[in-house]
Chains A and B, each alone.
Chain A
Amino acid sequence: MTRTTTSPVTGIEPAPAERRSVAQAIRGSDWTIRVLAVLGLLTVWWIASMIMGRLLMPSPARTVESFVSLIENGELVNAWLETLFILGTGLAAIAIVGISLGIILGRFRLADTFLDPVLTGLFVLPKLALLPIVALWFGYQETAKIVYIFLFGFFEVLFTVRAGVRAMEAEYVEVARSYAVPERVMLVSIILPASLPFVVTGLRLGLLRGIEGAVIAGFLLESNGIGGLIFNAGMGFRPEILFAGLATVAVVGVSINVALHAAERRVAPWTVTERS
């Protein structure tokens, strides 16, 4: 897997091994560096806000203030609840269709080859170009948004699971076949468990893409959810709301990444390049 490009967080080579005492001394000072970096970034931000003015760059204090008031008046929470609802529904559909189709196409070469040109075409197609089609068929409310999120995340799950099932075909399935394991047993006790790590990886990628789909849907379809909040903040020249909204998107993105990386490590410790 090309983890170095898909995931910078874990694709990093471990730092060169140092002698224990030196390593411990450095680890102690790592936190000093991190704290200094945060202070430095805050200072730069603060100075930038002085230079650029509050209309372009809110100060850290003003951003926190606006964040607190967005929480208090419920705007941020409501926006995220709306987004998480369509994201959750979309993801459930992605998981069900993506995993089952991935397993089917991974196992049956004929069907896979037959469908390949169309699926690849849809995968390559910039998803923005699908927006008018989604609007034409499904309107611009929840259903349309869920379909749009589905289109964003579906192919990641499908192609990851398909690749996984194909790879295991050579490893396990041939052995099982030579022991005359029946097809139904093969599915339940070989294919499903062995494809679990790919399922989790696919879901992580699909979910991250799904967030992007949800934000774009909030921009361009009915303007609500976190996408709508960010869009309206931009329209109304309210950069402090933009900053607060972006920060929550970052928190959600990082949490998904971390949680599903942990899941990947649990279900398949051998596939994850561990950071020392």
Chain B
Amino acid sequence: MRVAGRSVSAGSVLASRRAVRLLKVTGLVSFLVVWQVAGTASPAFYSTPTRVVAELQVLLFEDDLIPLTLETSWTMLVGLGLSIVIGVSIGFALGVYRRFSIAFEPWLAAFYAVPTAPWIPLMVVWFGIDREFAIAVVVIGTAVLLAFSTAAGVRETERQYREVAHSLQVKGWTMFIKVLLPGSIPFIGAGMRLSIKRAFTAVLIAEYLVGLPGLGLIIRGARESLATDRVFASAVAALIVGVALIAVSVAIERRLSRWRPVTF
């Protein structure tokens, strides 16, 4: 490897990577130290990392953090499952049938431009205040996104393989199963990654608004009590769950595009 005209050994690349990691750790530690100092001066305003850790233990052992998080995840999972069925079907219709896309694509694009949150009250009116409405909110928030990523995948695959498929006389159902579906799976994977993030936010807001048991209810409790430690501990808990979900979604995306030799 050559950088700035000098050849750089593998050892020094490793060293610079280590330096980057060290700098990041320093950044995080300094943030925590500043937080601790500010919080010691004014605990009612900033809390402190040590108090947040103590409060997290309370959340974990007394206030059912884990069962509530599972509750939230289950809602997401059911909603995303439905969303995949609906979104992928619409996506294929958009990608394969030109007339369907002419007729409905503008409306779906308009739908996509509306954020998820304003739909929540309507879903409550339609589905009541049980878990069904939260599932519906997930579908509203993610189905169109998945439809568009699927459609993009179908169109890209069509463009790449149309001529090969044509000369091999692959068409109809075979075309769908053997070419279009596998071809669009990496795109669906990319859509899933974004969908998981949106679904998480959507479920949290839904739970918060209605008081449905879940992580959103913990955040609502923190908001209502305005107990500083609880406020920050619930944010840290949400961060941890969020990071875990990102790890899961990156793994899903990677798994779904594994067969493809080149990524684009």
Contacts and interface: CB of A to CB of B under 8 A. Distances in A.
Given A13-B156, A30-B102, A128-B204, A117 B121 contact: no
B208 interface: yes
B115 A132 contact: no
Contact of A227 (B23, B25, B118, B125): B118
Interface string A117-160: 11001001111111111011100000000000000000000000
Interface stretch (B7-15, B59-67, B167-175, B226-234): B226-234
Contacts of A2: 190
Interface of B: 20, 23-28, 30-31, 45, 98-99, 102-122, 124-126, 144-145, 148-149, 151-152, 155-156, 158-159, 162, 187, 190-191, 194, 200-201, 204-205, 208-209, 216, 219, 222-223, 226, 228, 231-232, 234-235, 237-239, 242-243, 246
Contacts, number: 184
A53 B152 CA distance: 38
A256 to B, nearest CB: 8
Interface residues of A, number: 66
Nearest to A243: B122
Nearest to A37: B103
Given A4-B152, A113-B27, A126-B204, A239 B103 contact: no
Interface of A: 2, 4-5, 8-9, 11-13, 15-16, 30, 33-34, 36-37, 40-41, 56, 110, 113-118, 121, 124-133, 135-137, 208-209, 211-212, 215-216, 219-220, 226-227, 230-231, 233-235, 237, 239, 242-243, 245-246, 249-250, 253-254, 256-257
Given A126-B204, A242-B121, A8 B148 contact: yes
A250 B110 contact: yes
A212 B204 CA distance: 14
14 contacts: A4-B152, A37-B103, A118-B31, A125-B238, A126-B242, A128-B205, A129-B239, A136-B45, A136-B228, A219-B205, A246-B118, A246-B122, A253-B114, A254-B110
A212 B108 CA distance: 18
Given A9-B109, A30-B102, A128-B201, A135 B226 contact: yes
Contacts of A114: 23-24, 26-27, 30
Contact of B45 (A137, A239, A242): A137
Give the interface SS of chain B, mostly helix, strand, loop or mixed. helix
Contact of B190 (A5, A56, A116): A5
Contact of B114 (A9, A131, A132, A246): A246
A127 B155 contact: no
Contact of B238 (A8, A13, A129): A129
Contact of A132 (B20, B106, B222): B222
Contacts of A118: 27-28, 31
B118 A215 contact: yes
Contacts of B103: 33-34, 36-37, 40
Given A208-B113, A250-B110, A132 B204 contact: no
